Structure 1
Amino acid sequence: MASLDPVLDKDGVRLVVDEAIATVTLTNPAKRNAQSPALWRALAEAGRLLPGTVRVVVLRGEGKSFSAGLDRQAFTPEGFDGEPSFLDLARGSDEALDATIAEYQEAFTWWRRSDIVSVAAVQGHAIGAGFQLALACDLRVVADDVQFAMRETSLGLVPDLTGTHPLVGLVGHGRALEICLTGRFVHAEEAERIGLANLAVPAGQLDDAVRDLTAALLAAPRDAVVETKALLQGARERTYEEQRAAERAAQGRRLRDLAGLGD
C-alpha cells in the first residue's frame, strides 16, 4: 500500500487507493493529528475523489495518536492563516455561522455512504473532533492504548461534527450524556464492552486486525453489502412493519439480480 501514489496528499490528509481499498491517513503526528478547517476540507475532498472501485475505506492516523481533536489555534484571535478565527465566526450572522459549521461537517458525513464500509483504526488519543471522526466511520478497531474523550462540553461548546447521533446509537442516551458531560476518558476495554469499538487489540496488532477485518468485509458480494448496510442504517427510523417491507423489497432486488433479472 505504501508504494502506491497518493490520490490526495495535502493539509494533513493523504488518500491512497488500492483497487477496492482506500486508506485515508491523518499525517501530522507532530501535533497528534490535530484538526483544522483546512484538514476538514481535505477530508471532504477525499470522499469526493473516491473511485467507484472502492468498497472499504480505512481511516488511520500517523504516530502515537489517532487525533487529539481540534487545534486550539482555532480559538486564538489570529486563528489559522487565511481562515477566519472562530471568534470572528461567532461575531457573524446566524446564517453565515450555520453555513460554516455545515461545511465543516461535510468532512464527517461521507463515511456513512451505503456504497462503502468505513473502518477507523484508532490508537492513542481520539479526543473531541478526533472522537467524532472515529464515530463517523461504520466500524472501529482500537488499540489497547486508545483514549476516547468528548471534551467539547467542558470547553463551553457542544459536539457539532456529527458525533452525537452515532454515539447515542452505539451506547444509548444515558451513557452518551455521561460521556459528553463529564469529558472523561473511555479506554479500550470499556469501549469494546459498551459498543464503541468493534474490536480491541494490542497496539502492535492494530494493522493486522484491520487488514483481517477488511478482507472479511470484501468477501461478500458488493451489492449484498450495499443493500444490507442501507437496511441497517434505516432500521432506527422505520417502524417494525416498515423494516419488514424494506427487507422484502431489498431481498426481491437481490433475488432478481441473482436470477439475472435485474435492471
Structure 2
Amino acid sequence: MWSELGNISRKLPGDVRVVIVRGEGRAFSAGLDLSVARGDGDSSLPVLARLSPEECAERIAGFQEAFTWLRRPSLVTIAAVQGHAIGAGFQLALNCDFRVLADDARFSMAEVTLGLVPDLGGTKRLAELVGVSRALEICVTGRRISAQEADRIGLATAVVPVADLAGAVTDLAAATLAGDAGAVAEIKALLAGAPQRSYAEQDRAEREAQTRRLRDLIGSE
C-alpha cells in the first residue's frame, strides 16, 4: 500500500486538480503495522537500523515520497478524516492542504512511544499550523487530539458530523474546482512559500505570480 501511495502521483492524469484522501472503514489510518515494523521484512525497523546512515536516510526518503507529493502546487489535496489518524496516518493528513474531520476523529503523533521521530513530512506543517511550542507538546507526549481540539488549535479545516463527512468534502472539492486552475495553483504556491519570505520577498512573489496570470489570461483570449 505504501508503494502504491507513491505510485499514485505518477499515475495521475495531468488534468487532475483535486485529490481526496480517505480511509475505508471506521478509521482514517491506524498508522504503522507494528507486527511488520518489528519483523524482518525489507522495511522493518531492525533492517533499517542495520543499514548505513546514508542507505537508511535514502530508504526513509522513499517512504516520504508516498506522502509529500500531496503538497504539489498543481494539486489541492483534501484529507477526509474519520476515527483514528495515528502516527503515519496523522502525517498523511498533515501533508494535505485541507483536513475535513468527522466529529469522531482523533489525531495522535505516536512515534515517540516507539522511541522514534515523525519522519514523513509532518513536523513542519504541524509547527506552521499550531506553533512550535504546541507542536512539540503534541509530538513528545503522543497524546490523542479530539476533532474539537483540532478545530480549536487550527489543525482542522472543518469539523462535521460523521454522516456529513462525504458531503462536506465533496462541497469543498467543488468549490476549489470552481476557481481558475492557474490562479489556484499560484495561490497555493504563494501561501506555501510565505513563511520563508520577508514581506518584500512576498510582495515580489505576488507581483511575479500576477504577471504570469495576466499573461496567461490574455494569451488565452
Shorter-chain TM band: over 0.9
5 Å-filtered alignment, 1:234-253, equals: 234-253=193-212
> Moved runs in structure 1, 4+ residues, more than 6 A?
none
Decide which structure has greater helix share: 2
Q: Name which of 46, 53, 58 aligns with 1:87.
A: 46
Q: Name which of 211, 220, 224 aligns with 2:183.
A: 224
Unaligned runs of 5+ in 2: none
Higher relative contact order (CA 8 A, sep 6+): 2
1:208 aligns with 2:167: yes
CA distance in 1, matches of 2:194, 2:155: 19
Paired residues of 2:103 and 2:148 also in contact (CA < 8 A): yes
Q: CA deviation at 1:84?
A: 4.5
Q: Name which of 70, 89, 92 aligns with 1:111.
A: 70
Decide which structure has greater strand share: 1
Relative to structure 1, the CA distance from residue 216 to residue 84 in structure 2 (aligned partners, 3 Å threshold; closer, same or farther) is: closer
Relative to structure 1, the CA distance from residue 177 to residue 238 in structure 2 (aligned partners, 3 Å threshold; closer, same or farther) is: same
Q: CA deviation at 1:261?
A: 7.4
CA distance in 2, matches of 1:261, 1:155: 54
1:139 aligns with 2:98: yes
**Partner residue of 2:143?**
184
**Partner residue of 1:68?**
30
Paired residues of 2:101 and 2:147 also in contact (CA < 8 A): yes
Q: Name which of 3, 9, 18 aligns with 1:56.
A: 18
For 2:151, the aligned partner's letter is E
Relative to structure 1, the CA distance from residue 53 to residue 261 in structure 2 (aligned partners, 3 Å threshold; closer, same or farther) is: closer
Q: CA deviation at 1:96?
A: 1.1
CA RMSD of aligned residues (A): 1.3
Q: CA deviation at 1:149?
A: 0.3
For 1:51, the aligned partner's letter is P
Q: Deviations over 1:52-94 (max 9, x none)?
A: 1100000000000000000002333434xxx353202201211
CA distance in 2, matches of 1:128, 1:258: 43
Relative to structure 1, the CA distance from residue 150 to residue 56 in structure 2 (aligned partners, 3 Å threshold; closer, same or farther) is: same
Q: Deviations over 1:193-248 (max 9, x none)?
A: 11111000000000000000001001111011011111111101111100000101
User: Which TM-score applies when normalising by structure 1?
Assistant: 0.81
For 1:55, the aligned partner's letter is R
Q: Deviations over 1:14-34 (max 9, x none)?
A: xxxxxxxxxxxxxxxxxxxxx
For 2:183, the aligned partner's letter is A
**Partner residue of 1:198?**
157
For 1:96, the aligned partner's letter is E
**Partner residue of 1:25?**
none
User: Which TM-score applies when normalising by structure 2?
Assistant: 0.97
CA distance in 1, matches of 2:212, 2:44: 50
**Partner residue of 1:44?**
6
CA distance in 1, matches of 2:50, 2:219: 59
- Aligned to 2:196, the other structure's residue is in SS state coil
- Aligned to 1:152, the other structure's residue is in SS state helix
CA distance in 1, matches of 2:50, 2:164: 47
Paired residues of 2:40 and 2:47 also in contact (CA < 8 A): no
CA distance in 1, matches of 2:202, 2:37: 45
For 1:158, the aligned partner's letter is V
Q: Size of the alignment, in residue pairs?
A: 221
CA distance in 2, matches of 1:245, 1:77: 51
Unaligned runs of 5+ in 1: 1-38
